[in-house]
Amino acid sequence: MNTKPIPIFIVLMACGIASVISVIQGVEFSAFCTRFIWTTVVFLILGIIVKIILDKAMEVLGVSDIPTVESITQEVESEDNVEEQPQ
């Protein structure tokens, strides 16, 4: 499982929600920027922790990565080479 985008997704969602709440509350620009920076830092750390936990869980459970285009292509090419060999 590709867990690389998880921290970024968590940060984007949190910052989006924080931005909407700040606009609704009508806060000043400096307060808005402070909230945005703190939200980014806190939720980036939380996202990285979630990513590490998921990576460790996948490692323990033995779940392999989702096949990539390159691995599928190599597998198909190796099957084609086996079929082409004379018997």
User: Model confidence over 58-77: pLDDT tens digits?
Assistant: 888 877 666 666 767 777 77
Other C-beta atoms closer than 10 Å to the C-beta of 45 total 13
The whole-number pLDDT of residue 49 equals 95
Question: Is pLDDT of 50 > 90?
Answer: yes
pLDDT score, position 31: 95
- The pLDDT of residue 84 is 57
**Residue entry with tokens 């939720």:** 43
Question: What is the residue whose two structure tokens read 């921290």?
Answer: 7
